[in-house]
Amino acid sequence: MATFVLIPGGGCDSSYWRPLVAELRERGHEAVRVDLPCEDDAAGLAEYADAAVEQIGDRTDLIVVAHSLGGFTGPLVCERVPVDLLVMLTAMPPSPGEAPGEWWTATGHDQAMREAAGRHGPPEEDHGFDPVFYHDVPAELVAEVEKHPRGQSGTPMKEPWPLPAWPRVPTKFLLCRGDRLFPAEFMRRVVRERLGIVPDEIDGGHMVMLSRPAELADRLVAYARHNRPEAGAPRTTSPSP
């Protein structure tokens, strides 16, 4: 049995992981929905990692799943506790010394968004929520998530990512083909340039844990199974620094 450590994106309450947690438990695994101090102006990247490590406690057989802005926190956790696998789920892969607020310009995100504009037709008006994040999420799930609004402090956005290189942990990147915040072609390039690996892909938008929790759970469980080697066999190779 693996324990999936679910690290949220910016300004997110951990409740948005609930459908995925239910699916993982049905498949015989455990999960920790990490709450980050995202509204605390005194909390930066180090405090985000502290919060995650504290909530992990003494659990073992860990697979860290970092979503969106959580991509800056997930690798820090892997430096602090023994982790079997890091899964970057449509996440922001940082470079050493880069602050999260610098990531957008450094990766060319604005240009990618301009190139992707118009591919999705007119904005949906089905439930009045942001179509960039929730275009493929059932309205009732969007409404449930919106009951738990969180703000995002700017403090961690200004802090350089402190690691000198990617942690020595097996890493997978899972992008979402329908992601409107991080278009697929853009993320394929960023992942290749920054992690030196080819990302895996899944259907769905940025909030795939809400729109396709069963499919996401199947993919994560398959990662856990594949990453558990026979005695003496090497684990999956981690990205190049």
Instruction: Return the pLDDT at 125.
Output: 47
Q: Does the residue 137 lie in any domain?
A: yes
What is the band of 209 on the pLDDT scale with cuts at 50, 70, 90? Answer: very high
Q: Does the residue 165 lie in any domain?
A: yes
Distances in Å between the alpha carbon of 46 and those of 77, 78, 162, 190, 216? 9, 13, 9, 24, 28
Residue 142 belongs to a domain with what CATH number? 3.40.50.1820
Instruction: For residues 207 and 142, give the distance between their C-alpha atoms in angstroms, rounded to a whole number.
Output: 10
Q: How many angstroms from the chain centroid is the CA of residue 197? A: 16
Instruction: Return the pLDDT at 147.
Output: 87
Q: Does the residue 240 lie in any domain?
A: no
Instruction: Return the pLDDT at 129.
Output: 62
For 181, residues 6+ apart whose C-beta sits below 8 A from its C-beta are: 68, 90, 132, 133, 206
> DSSP for 180-241?
SSS-HHHHHHHHHHHH-SPPEEESS-TTHHHHSHHHHHHHHHHHHHHTSPPTTPPPPPPPP-
What is the band of 80 on the pLDDT scale with cuts at 50, 70, 90? Answer: very high
Check whether 122 has a pLDDT greater than 70.
no
Q: Does the residue 235 lie in any domain?
A: no
Q: Does the residue 25 lie in any domain?
A: yes
Tell me the average pLDDT across 84-93. Answer: 98
What is the band of 120 on the pLDDT scale with cuts at 50, 70, 90? Answer: low
Instruction: For residues 81 and 62, give the distance between their C-alpha atoms in angstroms, rounded to a whole number.
Output: 9
Check whether 239 has a pLDDT greater than 50.
yes
Tell me if 223 sits within 8 A of 199, measured CB to CB.
no
Weakest-pLDDT range from 22-26, 152-156, 204-208, 229-233: 229-233
Look up the pTM and report it: 0.91
Q: Does the residue 231 lie in any domain?
A: no
Instruction: Return the pLDDT at 234.
Output: 35
Q: Does the residue 149 lie in any domain?
A: yes
Q: Does the residue 62 lie in any domain?
A: yes
For 165, residues 6+ apart whose C-beta sits below 8 A from its C-beta are: 96, 241
Instruction: For residues 187 and 50, give the distance between their C-alpha atoms in angstroms, rounded to a whole number.
Output: 28
Q: Is 128 left (phi over 0), alpha (psi -120 to 50) or beta?
A: left
Distances in Å between the alpha carbon of 186 and those of 2, 74, 193? 31, 21, 11
Tell me if 163 sits within 8 A of 75, measured CB to CB.
yes
Tell me the average pLDDT across 140-157. Answer: 92
Residue 19: domain span:
3-226
Query: E strands of the chain, at which residues?
Result: 3-7, 30-33, 62-67, 85-89, 171-176, 200-202
Count how many Cα atoms sit within 13 Å of the Cα of residue 83 in the half-sphere of its side chain.
28
For 112, residues 6+ apart whose C-beta sits below 8 A from its C-beta are: 183, 185, 186
What is the band of 227 on the pLDDT scale with cuts at 50, 70, 90? Answer: confident
Structural domains of the chain, count? 1
